[in-house]
């Protein structure tokens, strides 16, 4: 089972930081820089709708377990809401709310006709059988079915969920509605209306951004040394793109540890060796931890696993020129200002990892049209969107003399605020 991303408690994170508070603080800053009234912040700081559900699941041992699930719909002024569903033991209500807000900003930056959403279930899929996972996935859809749908709120994969889980969810939804509805969910298998290029979309989007950053910084991609934390769906494809383009991937971190070789790792071999949860370091005698890996000298550091891994305790020791946030929220607010003060360029998550939702949008368009595109068509359009979004964020950063994170928030807010005002929800 391929996974969308990779997270575990064994990667050290800054736990006292709360994603929702960080989202709100940066949002407030961006709203006031744009000279919007405080009302805009008050409206956007929380999701417009939040549902908490209990999902009873019959386990393989015959016992029933009750799982807790969430769905947050941040803002649907610009269109239906959109965002993945994560399965993880550490999922919290506040985290899901923050992630939904970030999805709104991603859709704003990339000019998709959506607002943001996010779902989550507190569970550990690594400890569950495929049958249990299927019953949990179907149970979640039954629990949230009234508020989701192809013109309401469209789920997708996120951490520890994949195309098979999307397939079960689609099937359950079709049974409830009694008609075929492929546009209900994205990240589906190709045979069920998935899009070519969806599986690689997030990584390819990050790779396009990385090429643009290299141009900007006058670096030759093939001369760069890159460290990637996370070897799940995002990290592994990204490592492959980098390896194929001649860059040296000198470090890979996974849930259990890290692998490091200053001459460059053998990425094709590691891809063959990794397990379905992206774990590979346990196959080798490696002494480096994933924490130490983050602090190793390199040109480009790409956290592609979980939130909060670059925090106030290690930010001063991060030893690179550029950080590209492929995971959602890997750098805390305090860490970001330390990195910016040290002249390290940080490309924010809501820009860098938006390739996933962009190709999800393409998948939804194809489902609505009933006409399917070639992989080349998908990738060309993805590239165009990533380039335009990058240029817009860069221009805003220059015009307002702000860092890329604030600039990305400002770009993301524009459409959200305007669509809300035009509907009469805001009266600035």
Ramachandran class of 189: left when φ > 0, alpha when ψ lies in -120 to 50, beta otherwise? beta
Q: How far is the CB of 207 from ligand GLU (least distance, A)?
A: 16
Residue nearest to ligand GLU (CB): 84
Distance from C-alpha of 350 to C-alpha of 328, rounded to nearest angstrom: 7
Interface mask toward ligand GLU for 322-341; x: CB under 6 A: ------x-------------
* Residues 373 and 367: beta-carbon distance below 8 Å: no
Burial (Cβ within 10 Å: 0-12, 13-18, ≥19) of residue 413: buried
Distance from C-alpha of 395 to C-alpha of 399, rounded to nearest angstrom: 6
Beta carbon nearer to ligand GLU, 332 or 353: 353
Distance from C-alpha of 57 to C-alpha of 59, rounded to nearest angstrom: 6
Please give the helix or strand (H or E) that residue 58 lies within, else none.
strand 49-58
Residue range at the interface with ligand GLU (CB under 6 A); choices 35-43, 45-53, 76-84, 339-347: 76-84
Beta carbon nearer to ligand GLU, 84 or 150: 84
Q: How far is the CB of 356 from ligand GLU (least distance, A)?
A: 4
Distance from C-alpha of 226 to C-alpha of 221, rounded to nearest angstrom: 10
Q: Is 6 in the site for ligand GLU (CB under 6 A)?
A: no
- For ligand GLU (CB under 6 A), the number of binding residues is 11
Encoded tokens for 273:
């060796």
Query: Binding ligand GLU by CB under 6 A: which of 360, 366, 379, 389?
Result: 360
> Residue 152 catalytic?
no
Question: Which strands make up the sheet holding 322-324, listed edge to edge?
Answer: 258-260, 248-253, 225-229, 300-303, 322-324, 345-347
Interface mask toward ligand GLU for 238-257; x: CB under 6 A: --------------------
68 φ, ψ to 5°?
Answer: -105, 130
Query: Binding ligand GLU by CB under 6 A: which of 144, 357, 397, 406?
Result: 357
Distance from C-alpha of 189 to C-alpha of 271, rounded to nearest angstrom: 21
Q: Which residues of 389-401 are buried (b: 16+ CB within 10 A; e: fewer)?
A: bbebbbebbeeee
Beta carbon nearer to ligand GLU, 6 or 318: 6
Residue range at the interface with ligand GLU (CB under 6 A); choices 60-68, 142-150, 230-238, 352-360: 352-360
Q: How far is the CB of 129 from ligand GLU (least distance, A)?
A: 24
Q: Which residues contact 118 (CB under 8 A, 6 or more apart)?
A: 71, 72, 74, 83, 84, 85, 86, 96, 97, 99, 100, 103, 158
Q: Helices 201-216 and 375-400 meet at what angle, rounded to 10?
A: 50
Residue range at the interface with ligand GLU (CB under 6 A); choices 77-85, 239-247, 261-269, 338-346: 77-85
Residue range at the interface with ligand GLU (CB under 6 A); choices 25-33, 38-46, 79-87, 318-326: 79-87
Distance from C-alpha of 84 to C-alpha of 72, rounded to nearest angstrom: 10
Beta carbon nearer to ligand GLU, 257 or 412: 412
* Residues 307 and 19: beta-carbon distance below 8 Å: yes
Q: If you count DSSP H runs as helices and E runs as strands, how many of each does the chain have, helices first?
A: 14, 12
Which residues, 138 to 157, sit near ligand GLU by CB under 6 A? 156
Distance from C-alpha of 220 to C-alpha of 291, rounded to nearest angstrom: 27
Beta carbon nearer to ligand GLU, 84 or 251: 84
Distance from C-alpha of 266 to C-alpha of 184, rounded to nearest angstrom: 39
Distance from C-alpha of 326 to C-alpha of 350, rounded to nearest angstrom: 9
Query: Binding ligand GLU by CB under 6 A: which of 158, 172, 199, 325?
Result: 158
Largest CA distance in the chain: 61
Interface mask toward ligand GLU for 285-324; x: CB under 6 A: ----------------------------------------
- Choose, from 118, 240, 385, 415, the residue flagged as catalytic: 118
Interface mask toward ligand GLU for 180-219; x: CB under 6 A: ------x---------------------------------
Which residues, 80 to 139, sit near ligand GLU by CB under 6 A? 82-84
Beta carbon nearer to ligand GLU, 186 or 389: 186
253 φ, ψ to 5°?
Answer: -115, 145
Q: How far is the CB of 366 from ligand GLU (least distance, A)?
A: 14
Residue range at the interface with ligand GLU (CB under 6 A); choices 27-35, 219-227, 250-258, 349-357: 349-357
Beta carbon nearer to ligand GLU, 163 or 360: 360
Residues at the interface with ligand GLU (CB under 6 A): 82-84, 156, 158, 186, 328, 353, 356-357, 360
Catalytic positions are 118
């Amino acid at each position: 089972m391929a996974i969308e991303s990779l997270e575990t408690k064994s990667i050290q994170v800054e736990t006292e930081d709360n994603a929702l508070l960080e989202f709100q603080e940066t949002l407030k800053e961006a709203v006031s820089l744009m000279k919007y009234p405080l009302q805009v912040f008050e409206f956007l700081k929380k999701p417009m709708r939040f549902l908490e559900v209990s999902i009873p699941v019959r386990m393989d041992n015959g016992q029933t377990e009750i799982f807790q699930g969430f769905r947050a719909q941040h803002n649907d002024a610009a269109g239906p809401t959109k965002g993945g569903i994560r399965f993880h033991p550490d999922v919290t209500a506040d985290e899901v709310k923050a992630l939904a807000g970030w999805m709104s900003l991603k859709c704003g930056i990339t000019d998709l006709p959506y607002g943001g959403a996010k779902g989550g279930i507190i569970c550990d899929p690594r400890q569950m059988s495929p049958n249990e996972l299927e019953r949990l996935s179907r149970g979640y859809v039954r629990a949230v079915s009234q508020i989701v749908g192809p013109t309401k709120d469209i789920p997708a994969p996120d951490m520890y969920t994949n195309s098979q889980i999307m397939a079960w969810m689609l099937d359950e939804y079709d049974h409830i509605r009694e008609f075929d509805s492929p546009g209900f969910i994205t990240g589906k298998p190709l045979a069920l209306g998935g899009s070519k290029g969806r599986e690689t979309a997030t990584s390819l989007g990050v790779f396009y951004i990385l090429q643009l950053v290299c141009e900007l910084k006058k670096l030759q991609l093939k001369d760069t040394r890159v460290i990637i934390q996370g070897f799940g769906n995002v990290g592994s494809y990204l490592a492959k793109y980098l390896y194929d383009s001649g860059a040296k991937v000198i470090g890979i971190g996974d849930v259990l540890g890290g692998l490091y070789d200053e001459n460059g790792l053998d990425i094709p071999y590691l891809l063959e060796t990794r397990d379905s949860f992206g774990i590979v370091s346990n196959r080798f005698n490696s002494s480096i931890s994933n924490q130490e890996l983050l602090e190793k000298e390199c040109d480009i550091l790409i956290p592609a696993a979980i939130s909060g891994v670059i925090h106030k305790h290690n930010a001063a020791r991060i030893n690179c020129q550029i950080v590209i946030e492929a995971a959602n929220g890997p750098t805390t607010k305090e860490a970001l200002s330390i990195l910016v003060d040290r002249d390290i360029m940080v490309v924010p998550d809501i820009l860098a990892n938006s390739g996933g939702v962009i190709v999800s949008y393409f998948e939804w368009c194809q489902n609505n049209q009933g006409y399917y595109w070639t992989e080349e068509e998908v990738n060309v359009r993805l590239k165009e969107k990533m380039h335009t979004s990058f240029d817009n964020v860069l221009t805003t950063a220059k015009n307002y003399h702000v860092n890329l994170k604030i600039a990305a928030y400002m770009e993301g807010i524009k459409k959200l605020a305007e669509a809300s005002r035009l509907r009469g929800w805001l009266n600035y």
